[in-house]
Amino acid sequence: MLNLQLGIRHAVGKQGPITLDLKSSAFDPKEKVWTRFPPEGSKYTPPHSSCDFKWKDYCPQVFRTLRKLFKVDAADYMLSLCGDQALRELSSPGKSGSFFYLTSNDQYMIKTMKKSEVKIFLKMLRAYYNHVRAFENTLVTKFFGLHCVKLAGANQKKVRFVIMGNLFCSDYPIHRRFDLKGSSLGRTTDKPQTEIDEYTTLKDLDLNFIFRLQKHWCQEFQRQVDRDCEFLEQENIMDYSLLVGVHFRDTRDRLLTGGSFDSDSSRGSSPHLSRGDTDANRFAKIKLGSNMPIRAERTIRKSDIEPQIIGEPTGEFYDVVLYFGIIDILQDYDISKKLEHAYKSFQYDPTSISAVDPKQYSRRFRDFVFKAFQEEKLDL
């Protein structure tokens, strides 16, 4: 952790000129800078209490420019990641075996990466840069830096990690979270209803709402999901998800949706406001995928229809604030995924499994999210 913070402080501190029209050489996977950090310090690095290590910055100019595109202030970024407050490790590694850390202000997330993921990311970096530059409202994960720490000595262990935006950095507590792919096989939580809380990641078959967006937002949502999926399809990417966070504005609504909430996040409908903030201010910050006040309509699945991936609408509405974005965009359709598809196709309906080719994946993903997010039909 200390090595990581020393490296970031060093990398961000070396601010160079920023131009949005980057040369091809900036995206070259070989475009990386190694810096040695001896404990006694050097001409370029401070003395520190950790072991001797080397620090690698991948495509530093690209990520410096991405931070500018995403309107990240360099000083705030450095303070968030390298301030006195320690980074928090999230309770358990994901299915991928990656570890996740959050900054104390919840703004940034750090994820350890496998070498194969780094390769995929560097291969698609130019296309990613062009995409997020062209579409300010993109829902794909915002990436701010790609780094590697290599320990000196006999071990020579390498830890690669990426810094990205935390989708759920919000003054509103998130009460329900859903990870949606559009597939049905194994897409349900293994927790009993009574144990589901605000930290449980629910899946496609657990989704019991249709999110009703105003006409303008619904059209913008569909346009942007189409653009983002086309980009991911072109890059041969599959297995991504739409991560959705739901804040219920009325305390009573939270209890009606089943499961539990801890006392801290059930503190009534008002958000925790930072200094100088008001509720009106908060809603002035509405953008696609962030801070969106909408109505969610409860759905119910009829058990005799299998598989019914979206339930029947009930006419029961909740006032909610939504946060959402497309995550896990670094899995390509490689040989292991092709084998997984072939193996599971013998056992299950091929359309229900997650591992399908990028074109089919993109089409199924869009079909599903456009059923889960629909235009608000207000009764006159």
Going from N- to C-terminal start, the domains of the chain cover 2-165, 176-252+288-375
Collapsed DSSP state (helix, strand, coil) of residue 192: coil
In angstroms, the CA 66 to CA 60 distance is 10
In angstroms, the CA 115 to CA 141 distance is 19
CATH of 2-165, one of 3.40.50.720, 3.90.220.20, 3.40.50.150, 3.30.800.10: 3.30.800.10
Residue 370 is inside which H or E element, if any?
helix 358-372
Collapsed DSSP state (helix, strand, coil) of residue 298: strand
Query: What is the separation, in whole angstroms, between the first and last Cα of the chain?
Result: 57
Residue 347 has a pLDDT of 46
Scanning the structure block, which residue is given the tokens 């009106």? 280
- Identify the burial level of 49 via C-beta atoms within 10 angstroms of its C-beta, where 0-12 means exposed, 13-18 middle and 19 or more buried: exposed
Cβ-based neighbour number of residue 218 at 10 Å:
18
- Identify the burial level of 162 via C-beta atoms within 10 angstroms of its C-beta, where 0-12 means exposed, 13-18 middle and 19 or more buried: buried
User: Tokens representing 204?
Assistant: 């496609």
In angstroms, the CA 17 to CA 230 distance is 32
Q: What is the DSSP letter of 359?
A: H
> What contacts 252, CB < 8 A, 6 or more positions away?
none
In angstroms, the CA 361 to CA 351 distance is 9
Scanning the structure block, which residue is given the tokens 């991504």? 240
Residue 346 has a pLDDT of 45
Distances (CA, A) of 86 to 89, 102, 361: 9, 9, 39
Sign of the dihedral through C-alpha 166, 170, 176, 178: negative
Q: Tens of pLDDT along the chain (380 residues)?
A: 888 888 888 888 877 777 888 999 899 888 777 888 888 888 888 888 888 888 899 999 999 999 999 999 998 999 999 887 778 887 655 566 788 899 989 999 999 998 989 999 999 999 999 999 999 999 999 999 999 998 877 677 889 999 999 999 988 999 999 999 987 666 677 777 777 778 888 988 889 999 999 999 999 999 999 999 999 999 999 889 999 999 999 866 555 555 554 544 433 333 333 334 445 555 558 899 999 999 999 998 876 555 667 888 889 999 999 999 999 898 765 545 545 544 454 445 555 545 568 898 999 999 999 999 999 877 54
Selection from 51, 192, 166 nearest residue 107 by Cα: 166
Residue 265 has a pLDDT of 42
**CATH class in words for 176-252+288-375:** alpha beta
Bridge partners (DSSP) listed for residue 173: none
Global pTM reads 0.84
Distances (CA, A) of 365 to 36, 154, 379: 44, 46, 30
- Do 198 and 247 contact (CB within 8 A), yes or no? no
